Amino acid sequence: MAAVAALTPPIGVALLFWFVMRAVLRADRNEREAMAALDRAEAERAAAERAAGEGS
């Protein structure tokens, strides 16, 4: 029983660390996806403006 009591805090800290790191990595992935979508939209807008300018 003493071994379980001794191992409980490190396991709890490890789980807390795992959840925090998982949240950070997911947030980073979502931010990268959002930035890529923004970059694609900006590139499409710039291409459309160039095409409209060349047609004049």
Map out the domains of the chain as residue ranges: 1-55
Instruction: State the SS3 of the chain.
Output: CHHHHHHHHHHHHHHHHHHHHHHHHHHHHHHHHHHHHHHHHHHHHHHHHHHHHHHC
pLDDT for 56 equals 60
What tens-digit pLDDT sequence spans the chain (56 residues)?
Answer: 999 999 999 999 999 999 999 999 999 999 999 999 999 999 999 999 999 988 66
The model carries a pTM of 0.69
